[in-house]
Chains A and B, each alone.
Chain A
Amino acid sequence: MSTFINLLIYGLADGAILALAALGFVLIYKATGVINFAQGEFLLIGAYAFYAAFVLLGLPITVAIVFGVIVTTLLALMVERFVLRPLIGENPISVIMVTIGLSLFLKAVVQMFFGTSVRAMPSILPTRSVGILGGSVPLNRLYVIAIAAVVLTAFTLFFRWSRHGIAMRAVADDQQAAMTTGISVRRVFAMAWALAALSALIAGVLLADIAAVDGNIALYGLLVFPVVILGGLDSVPGTIVGGLTIGVLKQMVSGYADPGLAAVIPYVVLVAILMIKPYGLFGEVRIERV
Chain B
Amino acid sequence: MATSTGLYHRTYRSELALRHTRAEYARLALMILGLVALPYLVNNYWLGIVNTILIAVVGAVGLNILTGFTGQISLGQGGFLAVGAYSSAIFSSRGGMPVVVSIILAVLLTAVVGAFFGLPALRLKGLYLAIATLASQEIIIFIARRWEWLTEGQGFISVPRLEVGAFKVERLTFEWQWYWILLVVAVISTLAARNLFRTGLGRAFMAVRDQDIAAEAIGVNLTHTKVLAFAVSSGFVGLAGALTAHYTETVTWERFTLEVSVTYLAMILVGGLGSIAGAVYGATFISLLPPLLTEFSDVVKDNLPFIAEQLPAIKNAAFGLIIIVFLIFEPRGLDRIWQRMKDYIRLWPFRY
List A residues at the B interface (Cβ < 8 Å): 35, 83, 86-87, 90-94, 96-98, 100-109, 111-112, 222, 225-226, 229, 233, 260, 263-264, 267-268, 270-271, 274-275, 278, 288-290
Contact = CB atoms under 8 A, between A and B. Distances in A.
B26 interface: no
Interface of B: 67, 71, 73, 120, 123-124, 126-128, 130-132, 134-136, 138-139, 142, 145-146, 211, 213-214, 217, 258, 262, 265-266, 269, 273, 310, 312-317, 319-324, 327-328, 331
A101 B67 CA distance: 17
Given A263-B142, A267-B138, A290-B211, A278 B128 contact: yes
Contacts of A288: 213
A108 B317 contact: yes
Contact of A111 (B67, B124, B313): B313
B131 A225 contact: yes
Contacts of B266: 97, 101
Contact of B130 (A35, A112, A268, A278): A35
Contact of B313 (A103, A108, A267, A274): A108
A104 B323 contact: yes
Nearest to A268: B139
A98 B327 contact: yes
Given A96-B130, A267-B139, A109 B265 contact: no
Nearest to A106: B320
Contacts of B265: 97, 100
A98 B317 contact: no
27 contacts: A86-B328, A87-B327, A96-B127, A97-B323, A100-B262, A100-B265, A101-B266, A101-B322, A102-B320, A104-B262, A104-B316, A105-B320, A105-B321, A106-B320, A108-B315, A108-B316, A108-B320, A112-B313, A226-B135, A267-B139, A270-B132, A271-B139, A274-B128, A274-B131, A274-B135, A275-B123, A290-B214
Contacts of A108: 313-317, 319-320
Contacts of B327: 87, 90, 94, 97-98, 101
Determine chain B's interface SS by DSSP, over half rule.
helix
Given A96-B130, A225-B134, A268-B139, A105 B331 contact: no
Report the 10 A-B pairs with minimum CB-CB distance, sorted nearest first: A101-B323, A105-B320, A104-B320, A108-B317, A108-B316, A264-B142, A267-B135, A111-B313, A92-B126, A101-B324
Given A96-B73, A101-B320, A274 B124 contact: yes
Contacts of B139: 264, 267-268, 271
Which one of A83, A87, A90, A97 has the greatest number of beta carbons of chain B within 10 Å? Answer: A97
A101 B321 contact: yes
Nearest to A228: B131
Nearest to B134: A225
Given A101-B266, A267-B138, A270-B135, A290 B213 contact: yes
Contacts of B273: 93
A264 B312 CA distance: 28
A161 B320 CA distance: 39
Contacts of B145: 260
Given A93-B73, A100-B262, A100-B323, A271 B328 contact: no
A112 B316 CA distance: 10
Contacts of A270: 131-132, 135
Contacts of A92: 73, 126-127, 130
A109 B320 CA distance: 10
Nearest to A269: B135
A67 B7 CA distance: 63
A83 B262 contact: no
Nearest to A93: B73
A220 to B, nearest CB: 14
B124 A83 contact: no
A228 to B, nearest CB: 8
Nearest to A79: B324
Nearest to A270: B135
A275 B315 CA distance: 38
B132 A105 contact: no
A267 to B, nearest CB: 4
Which one of B146, B322, B323 has the greatest number of beta carbons of chain A within 10 Å? Answer: B323
Contacts of A229: 128, 131
Nearest to B262: A100
Nearest to A97: B269
B328 A83 contact: yes
Contact of A274 (B126, B132, B316): B132
Given A98-B327, A105-B320, A271-B136, 5 more contacts: A92-B130, A93-B67, A98-B323, A264-B142, A290-B211
A234 to B, nearest CB: 11
A216 to B, nearest CB: 15
B135 A102 contact: no
Nearest to B261: A100
A288 B216 CA distance: 13
Contacts of B132: 270-271, 274
Contact of B123 (A86, A97, A268, A278): A278
Contacts of B315: 108
Contacts of A91: 71
A288 B321 CA distance: 34
A263 B257 CA distance: 14
A271 B320 CA distance: 28
A156 to B, nearest CB: 24
Given A97-B266, A100-B262, A111-B316, A105 B138 contact: no
